[in-house]
């Protein structure tokens, strides 16, 4: 094995998927498996498919292209760019939308291709990322229903993201209310109510999710076994599907405080150091160009990450009971941001176990 690398346990990932799919099934909720954090790599997507997801969802068309081999509906999660209208119709069956001009462009593209493209209209219930305000929903729905080539398939919302707003019975009930108003005014039945991401799972466990919510878009909970509202690990899931591995390239005893006047570091920040005397420092061959260092946690909990430049990570191994040597590999767990960056970096190799 070469380094730095991420190892992926596909069996554990499949089991995580099955556990969460079964939890959602108890509430009549389908699961859209979100593949963006691992850039849509088919081998990893396959484990989620085997675990029982109903849809493959990704923010990038480039990743959805990699999933065309799977016979499941594809959802484009990021609002389509106008310049992407043709590709959105070609590579996704469903897309999240909030702008009429974009929906009209999708309509034109779908008609040219003799297809029907499904739309999930995004509603902003408080997080202030994408979505129309609830008060504007009925007017936009009226315009969408007049378009050919597109089908208003669902309503959705996004939480736990830009604004960090936690999903609740109250804010998700806004979708339910709008569905009922659409039925009443237009005699049109909305098929899907997509009630957010992994942050909504706490509502399932407490039986506080509105019963009309019938879809969740799940990534972190499947990949890391964690719901994202309160950072709690889910029962019967694995938190070690992904492990980051870095090789030690230098191991020396050095002072804990640099000598000389301290100025900005390589990233323009002025570092602050605590004087611990002489410490045993290891340098691992990875850095910020490879992974979000702040999202790594050494599996050896007696190691401390001191910092990193673009391609060197400095570790304090003084207290560790392991007698590390040059060439040894240090293993780390990854949070969601670290996973995202490690899979995006071409310098981090990926291995399956």
Tens of pLDDT, residue by residue over 2-16, are: 999 999 999 999 999
Rounded Cα–Cα distance for residues 152 and 117 (Å): 9
Rounded Cα–Cα distance for residues 61 and 65 (Å): 6
Is domain 242-352 in CATH 2.40.37.10, yes or no? yes
Rounded Cα–Cα distance for residues 112 and 255 (Å): 68
Instruction: Determine phi and psi for 98, rounding to 5 degrees.
Output: -145, -5
Active site residues: 36
Map tokens 């040059």 to a residue.
Answer: 326
pLDDT digits (tens, 9 = 90+) for 20-43: 999 999 999 999 999 999 999 999
Which residues, 6+ apart, have CB-to-CB distance to 163 below 8 Å? 126, 127, 128, 129
Say if residue 273's pLDDT is above 90: no
pLDDT digits (tens, 9 = 90+) for 299-336: 999 999 999 999 999 999 999 999 999 999 999 999 99
The first and second tokens of residue 184, run together, are: 């009443």
The region, left, alpha or beta by phi > 0 then psi within -120 to 50, assigned to residue 114 is left
- Which sequence spans correspond to the domains of the chain? 10-231, 242-352
Which residues, 6+ apart, have CB-to-CB distance to 353 below 8 Å? 7, 8, 9, 10
Fold of 10-231: TIM Barrel (3.20.20)
The first and second tokens of residue 160, run together, are: 């736990």
pTM strictly above 0.85: yes
pLDDT of residue 270: 85
Q: Is 289 exposed, middle or buried (0-12, 13-18, 19+ CB in 10 A)?
A: middle
């Amino acid at each position: 094995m070469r380094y730095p690398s991420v190892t992926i346990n596909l069996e554990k990932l499949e089991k995580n998927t099955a556990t969460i799919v079964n939890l959602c099934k108890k509430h009549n909720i389908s699961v859209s498996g979100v593949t963006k954090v691992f850039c849509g790599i088919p081998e990893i997507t396959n484990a989620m498919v085997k675990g029982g997801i109903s849809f493959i969802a990704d923010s990038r068309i480039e990743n959805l292209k990699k999933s065309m081999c799977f016979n499941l509906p594809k959802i484009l999660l990021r609002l389509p760019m106008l310049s992407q209208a043709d590709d959105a119709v070609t590579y996704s069956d469903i897309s999240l939308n909030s702008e009429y001009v974009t929906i009209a462009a999708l309509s034109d593209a779908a008609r040219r291709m003799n297809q029907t493209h499904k739309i999930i209209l995004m509603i902003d219930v408080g997080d202030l990322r994408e979505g129309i305000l609830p008060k504007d929903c009925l007017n936009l729905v009226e315009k969408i229903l007049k378009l050919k080539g597109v089908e208003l398939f669902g309503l959705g919302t996004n939480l736990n993201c830009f604004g960090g707003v936690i999903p609740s019975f109250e804010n998700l009930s806004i979708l339910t209310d709008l569905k009922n108003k659409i039925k009443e005014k237009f005699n049109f039945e909305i098929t899907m109510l997509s009630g957010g991401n992994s942050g909504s799972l706490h509502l399932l466990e407490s039986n506080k999710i509105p019963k009309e919510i019938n879809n969740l878009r799940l990534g972190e909970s499947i990949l890391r076994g964690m719901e994202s509202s309160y950072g709690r690990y889910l029962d019967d899931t694995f938190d070690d599907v992904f492990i980051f591995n870095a090789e030690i390239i230098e191991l020396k005893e050095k002072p804990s405080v640099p000598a000389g006047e301290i100025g900005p570091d390589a990233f323009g920040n002025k570092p602050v150091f605590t004087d611990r005397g002489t410490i045993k420092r290891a340098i691992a061959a990875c850095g910020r160009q490879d992974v979000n260092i702040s999202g790594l946690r050494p599996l050896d909990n007696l190691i401390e990450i001191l910092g990193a430049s673009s391609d060197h990570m400095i570790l304090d191994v003084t207290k560790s009971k392991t007698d590390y040597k040059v060439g040894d590999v240090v293993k780390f767990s990854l949070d969601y941001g670290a996973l995202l960056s490690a899979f995006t970096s071409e310098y981090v190799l990926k291995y399956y176990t």
